[in-house]
């Protein structure tokens, strides 16, 4: 049997979790973010239901902007514990089909399976998720790149001229994208339609007269290497041909760092207040790594001013440690390297962690 990669992507996840608790909200423009107060400064939308998206509401938009665009929107606060619980339920369902499940955040996962009928399996997954009161799209591919891209098409099957229901590989809520139909589906699309190519790289490719994925497929690898480097250049060519990673990581590697940041309701201007906030953040993240049995080896501080100018500075600790006062003192010494001559909008502290093998010795 052939091996397939399925990408399962939950629809409007945070809003959908709220719909399970409040069915009366279904069909309404629900906007999730912050504490649910659209007048709360410096808070952004983290999820918008499909009716809200019709008003132009998007993740990352300030809540105040969303309220202006959609005055009748229903604003709800973030509920991370609730989303954790719902996500764990979904991932547990996926593992009833196979142990080969790689979780990507709350609302998506890659599933590796051997089957003669990937569409049948995708349909079974969608039905099982629906029993949880949630919905999902499933992209079917021969690697992670094609599966991820297929999910985007799965969400628009029959809903747009770009992905009609009779498109090759299309079924309701599902789409198959593999080497067999790659050129037909992708060659005419712009290069930034590829997962991993943003507008900046697309603009650089355009300067080389590479505008579509078909152009990228036909590009000279030597030219790409000269422009993007000996590794990244040829990799872009490989991506253009629909090749990608096929490995599914069941257990993610231990994190190499842990961080905590905060955007403040008002700009900080007093040095003593700034130092107090950095000390608090450093203490909180230090306590988190200690609770996780990890050891810090480096500390970094990030400062963002009211003009969004952002800088990070770091320092290696004299020796690996879990001592909270030592980590706080190190963070404050890093902070002392900033001029702090402008109002501060955001502060962050990140700890780089010793490898697990080292931490255990």
Q: State the catalytic residues.
A: 108
Tell me if 125 sits within 8 A of 139, measured CB to CB: no
**CA-based nearest residue to 302, from 341, 264, 257, 335:** 335
Tell me if 39 sits within 8 A of 71, measured CB to CB: no
Strand-pairing partners, residue 316, are 298
**CA-based nearest residue to 19, from 136, 173, 133:** 133
Task: Name the token pair of 12.
Answer: 């409007």
| Strand order through the sheet with 74-76 | 47-48, 30-32, 74-76
Q: Compute the C-alpha angle 256/262/268, nearest 5°.
A: 135
CA distances to 278, 320, 328, 330 from 317, in Å: 17, 6, 11, 7
């Amino acid at each position: 049997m052939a091996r397939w990669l399925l990408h399962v992507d939950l629809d409007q996840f945070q809003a959908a979790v709220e719909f399970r608790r409040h069915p009366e909200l279904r069909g309404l423009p629900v906007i999730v973010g912050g504490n649910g107060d659209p007048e709360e400064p410096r808070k952004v939308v983290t999820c918008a239901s499909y009716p809200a998206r019709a008003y132009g509401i998007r993740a990352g938009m300030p809540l105040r902007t969303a309220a202006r665009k959609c005055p009748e929107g229903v604003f709800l606060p973030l509920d991370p514990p609730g989303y954790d619980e719902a996500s764990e339920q979904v991932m547990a369902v996926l593992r009833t089909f196979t142990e080969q499940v790689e979780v990507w955040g709350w609302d998506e996962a890659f599933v590796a399976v051997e089957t003669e009928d990937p569409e049948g399996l995708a349909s079974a997954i969608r039905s099982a998720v629906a029993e949880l009161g949630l919905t999902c799209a499933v992209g079917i591919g021969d690697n992670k790149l094609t599966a991820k891209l297929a999910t985007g098409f799965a969400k628009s099957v029959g809903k747009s001229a770009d992905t009609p229901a009779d498109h090759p590989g299309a079924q309701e809520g599902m789409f198959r994208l593999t080497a067999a139909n790659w050129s037909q589906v992708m060659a005419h699309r712009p290069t930034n339609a590829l997962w991993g190519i943003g507008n900046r790289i697309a603009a650089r490719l355009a300067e080389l007269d590479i505008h579509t994925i078909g152009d990228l497929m036909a590009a000279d690898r030597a030219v790409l290497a000269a422009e993007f480097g000996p590794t990244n250049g040829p990799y872009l060519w490989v991506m253009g041909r629909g090749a990608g990673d096929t490995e599914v990581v069941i257990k993610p590697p231990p994190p190499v760092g842990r961080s905590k940041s905060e955007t403040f309701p008002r700009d900080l201007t007093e040095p003593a207040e700034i130092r107090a906030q950095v000390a608090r953040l450093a203490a909180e993240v230090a306590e988190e790594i200690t609770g996780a049995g990890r050891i810090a080896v480096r500390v970094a501080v990030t400062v963002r001013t009211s003009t969004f100018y952002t800088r990070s500075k770091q320092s290696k600790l004299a020796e690996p440690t879990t001592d909270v006062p030592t980590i706080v003192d190190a963070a404050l010494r890093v902070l002392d390297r900033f001029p702090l001559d402008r109002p501060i909008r955001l502060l962050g502290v990140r700890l780089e962690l010793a490898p697990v093998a080292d931490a255990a010795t």
